[in-house]
Amino acid sequence: MKQLSQASKTAIGGMTVALTVVLLIPTALDIFVYALPAIAGFLTLFCVIELGKRWAFGVYFAAAVLSLLLVPNKEAAVMYTAFFGYYPIVKALLEISKLPRVVEYLLKFLIFNASVVLAYLVLIYAFGMPLDDVLGIDGNVWWSKYALPVMLALGNAVFLAFDFSLTRMAMVYLKVLQPKLHKLFRFK
């Protein structure tokens, strides 16, 4: 396979950064706050496959900075920056390591939980969001004291689905889309 030139990698990286930021802008509608940062994470996966981990980190960093500056919904920008943007790179690094599968998944869950807790601490203390707004609850309801552990447990279930879907998307990309794109752009 023909290697991409530095100019091609820069162009692909720049387009991916721009697409990521544009994808995060509709998060001003609250229903997209978690879905669009997760979808933007798939763009990082594309960069890992086509450009390599080093370029993918550069794309992630540029997209994270621009999203924090330009995306109106700071919760979505922080979630992309704190987890969804870099996780596909970390996933690739963990999966090529020689770690036992159990240790690999323990590390993945540790990274997810630490990232989410850090993200919400940033939202609460740096951006001044009240905890009730972050959790999406009214503090006066009887179950509000259980909201934090329940949300974290649900988040872990969704993380497992996200991890699985990243693996499946990588397989689909490598087997179906990559050969077509490489033929179209003559990367044989």
Report if residue 41 sits inside a domain.
yes
Nearest CA-CA partner of 95 in 57, 49, 35: 49
Report if residue 146 sits inside a domain.
yes
**SS3 assignment for 15-80:** HHHHHHHHHHHHHHCHHHCCHHHHHHHHHHHHHHHHCCHHHHHHHHHHHHHHHHHHCCCHHHHHHH
Report if residue 130 sits inside a domain.
yes
Gap between the Cα atoms of 143 and 135, Å rounded: 12
pLDDT at 138: 61
Report if residue 1 sits inside a domain.
no
Nearest CA-CA partner of 41 in 153, 163, 123, 172: 163
Asked if residue 82 lies in contact with residue 116, where contact means CB atoms within 8 angstroms, the answer is yes
Gap between the Cα atoms of 181 and 188, Å rounded: 10
CATH number at residue 180: 1.10.1760
Instruction: Give me the tens of pLDDT residue by residue for the chain, a chain 188 residues long.
Output: 467 888 889 999 999 999 999 999 998 787 888 899 999 999 999 999 999 999 999 999 999 999 999 999 998 999 999 999 999 999 999 999 989 999 999 999 999 999 999 998 898 888 888 776 666 666 566 666 777 788 889 999 999 999 999 999 999 999 999 899 888 877 65
Gap between the Cα atoms of 116 and 121, Å rounded: 9
pLDDT at 186: 73
User: Looking at the 3D structure of the chain, how many domains does it have?
Assistant: 1
For Cα atoms 168, 30, 162, give the angle at the middle one, nearest 5 degrees.
15
- Provide DSSP, 82-102: IIITTHHHHHHHHHHS---HH
Q: Which residues, at least 6 apart from 87, have a Cβ–Cβ distance to it below 8 Å?
A: 41, 44, 111, 112, 115, 162, 166
Tokens of 57: 């980190």
Question: What residue numbers bound the domain in which 48 lies?
Answer: 6-184
How many Cβ atoms sit within 10 Å of the Cβ of residue 90? 17
pLDDT at 29: 80
pLDDT at 111: 97
* Residue whose structure tokens are 């770690």: 99
